[in-house]
Amino acid sequence: MKVVHLVGARPNFVKLAPLIGKLHPLKEVLVHSGQHYDYTMDKVFFDTLGIKEPDYHLGVGSGSHAEQTGKIMVEFERICLKEKPHLVIVYGDCNTTIAGALVAAKLHIPLCHIEAGIRSYDREMPEEINRVLTDHCSDYLFAPTMTAVKNLEQEGITKNVFNVGDIMFETYLEFMEQASASTVIERLGLSKKEFYLATLHRPSNVDFKEKLERVFRAMSQLDKPVVLPLHPRTRKRVELHKVDTGGVRLIEPQPYIDMIALEKSARLIITDSGGVQKEAYYAKTPCIVLRTTTEWPELLGNGAVLLGEDYEALGEEVVELLSQSFTFDKLFFGDGNTSNKIAKILKSKLLS
């Protein structure tokens, strides 16, 4: 029997790494859509995480949501018709995810969704549409938290729903020791707990010149230096709008191990990323989220706070958050054994 994994973006690779190779005796085929194609967002993750070379690379590149999703669907359908898999596995909530889900559903191939059930309840986010539709197409839904399970139940999805914990937490634990040995702090001339780490890529924050200028101005006025690994999408907007990035230190997107080392060493994290919110919690680093909603409500009051677009209040929020004490000891995301649980369930379902 044959299983196809479909990935395409940096967060997918982090979720894929612990699971691929664990479904033996099922044959595993890896398909990369090419949604992320910049070396710093793509190949370096395969190298760092020890993921095998994809069996197929669709090379779709960038484009509008419709263009990118449509291209992936056309190319992925051809592969499914050729390979005739017994299961398609998709990860997270990017355009690759929904494209794979729709292809599998239309071809009547059973579909598995890793990281099912998370919801921000913000339909302005493309990812929210992707994750909701993917869940409603899926035959096996692996939820990272009890909140996710309850979200699915509220939408009438209860069959083959499994709370297995967060697979990204497993990846973090696996590479934590290597991150401790990373020299990225020294290479960047930083001191532990003497800088703030930021990430920024959501359209709501970066697509408008006025907003970008406000957020960079706010970060430049903080009491510690801000280090920002610059997402290619954000870099394009900064260059297009000729945005003054002020005193924010811009660096290239970091390999996974160096990134989690930075997250652990930062005094505080400022982000609009769903994955970085979780990694901040794993790293026991307080986190300010530049969004009005989050798909990880467990984190609110447990080291994380939503700031929305009130960028001018960033300095006050930093002071307020750092005045509090957090234990970061609640096991929201499972025990770090997610991939083995998923593999056991899928093999029992497919091989029985």
Q: How far apart are CA 66 and CA 181, in angstroms?
A: 42
Phi-psi region of 304 (alpha: psi -120 to 50; beta: other; left: phi over 0): beta
From the list 36, 113, 201, 231, the catalytic residue is 201
Tell me how many degrees the CA angle 258-175-4 measures, rounded to the nearest 5.
Answer: 105
> What amino acid is encoded at 217 in this protein?
R
Six-digit token string for 295: 């798909």
SS3 at position 223: coil
Query: Is 36 among the residues known to form the active site?
Result: no
Q: Is 240 buried (19+), middle (13-18) or exposed (0-12) by CB count in 10 A?
A: exposed
DSSP string, 278-332: HHHHHTT--EEESSS--S-GGGBTTTEEE-TT-GGGHHHHHHHHHTS-------T
User: What is the distance in angstroms between the CA of the first residue and the CA of the last residue of the chain?
Assistant: 12
Q: How far apart are CA 26 and CA 3, in angstroms?
A: 7
Give residue 33's Cα distance to chain centre.
16
Q: Which of 69, 51, 47 is nearest to 60 (CA)?
A: 69
**Lookup result for tokens 């355009």:** 95
Q: What are phi and psi of 308, to 5 degrees?
A: 70, -140
Q: What are phi and psi of 221, to 5 degrees?
A: -95, 5
**Lookup result for tokens 């001339």:** 189
Q: How far apart are CA 43 and CA 40, in angstroms?
A: 7
The catalytic residue positions are 201
